[in-house]
């Protein structure tokens, strides 16, 4: 989970593109391109990811695994109405309970 600490979520209104980047390397974890109607056009991801749009909410589910092999799902919800102008958000994940969780 350390990868998520201070990662950035960036929305480009002109391109209708949402990008989640690694804070240290600026590498892309995932990117979603939308049509004008905010329906998904294309999804790119380096990790297992489930993407759904439900009731104006973008729901992202990542498969994560602890070092003792427990499988978990990390869910992120984003309100599509918030994606109307260029926006960059820092994702600040606490270090408390996630030290040993990694992407699987």
**pLDDT tens across 26-50, in order?**
888 889 999 998 899 999 988 778 8
Residue 97 pLDDT > 60: no
Instruction: Give 19-32 pLDDT, tens digit per residue.
Output: 988 878 888 888 99
3-state secondary structure of 3: helix
pLDDT recorded at residue 70: 75
SS (H, E, C) 48-83: CEEEEEECCEEEEEEEEEECCCCEEEEEEEEEHHHC
- pLDDT of 54 higher than 70: yes
Bridge pairing between strands 49-54 and 87-91? unpaired
N-term to C-term CA, the chain = 11
């Amino acid at each position: 989970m350390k990868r998520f600490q201070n990662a950035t979520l960036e929305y480009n209104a002109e391109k209708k593109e949402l990008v989640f980047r690694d804070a240290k390397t600026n590498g892309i974890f995932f990117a979603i391109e939308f049509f004008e109607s905010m329906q998904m056009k294309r999804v790119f991801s380096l990790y297992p990811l489930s993407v759904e749009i439900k009731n104006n909410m973008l729901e992202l589910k990542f498969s994560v695994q602890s070092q003792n092999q427990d499988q978990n799902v990390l869910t992120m919800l984003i309100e599509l109405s918030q994606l109307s102008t260029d926006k960059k958000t820092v994702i600040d994940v606490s270090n408390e309970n996630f030290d040993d969780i990694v992407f699987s």
